Amino acid sequence: MAVAALLVLGLRCWPGIALGTLAVILSLTSPTLHSLVLLAGNTAAPVCGYLLLRGVGFRSDLARLRDGVALVLLGAFASMLISSSTAAVLFVATGELPVSGF
């Protein structure tokens, strides 16, 4: 949803994505340094997805096959690796996840 919002509204809506992420984090746990790192990763992922899609000339009308493929590979898969990798690296760095589990 965040990537779609960025595609429709532009990069100016990233603070709303950050606030939405913060609201979810606060509803699940108390704010800590870990929460801020997760907030940054979960905000950076859709922004990077948006930038990747714009970089390859993505058109939101999805009239071309390459737009659909780019949306799946860049907008959904590659950019969300940022979010998941941020969380995994954070848990390894704090010792909550063993390196073998990474």
Residues 15-69: pLDDT tens digits? 999 999 999 999 998 888 888 999 999 999 999 999 999 999 999 888 999 999 9
Task: For residue 55, give Cα distances in angstroms to 1, 10, 80.
Answer: 19, 14, 17
How far is it, in rounded angstroms, from Cα 18 to Cα 101?
28
Residue type, 44: A
How far is it, in rounded angstroms, from Cα 88 to Cα 82?
10
pLDDT of residue 44: 94
Phi, psi of 64 (to 5 degrees): -105, 145
Q: Note the pTM of the prediction, 2 decimals.
A: 0.85
**Residue 81 pLDDT > 80:** yes
Residues 1-14: pLDDT tens digits? 999 999 999 999 99
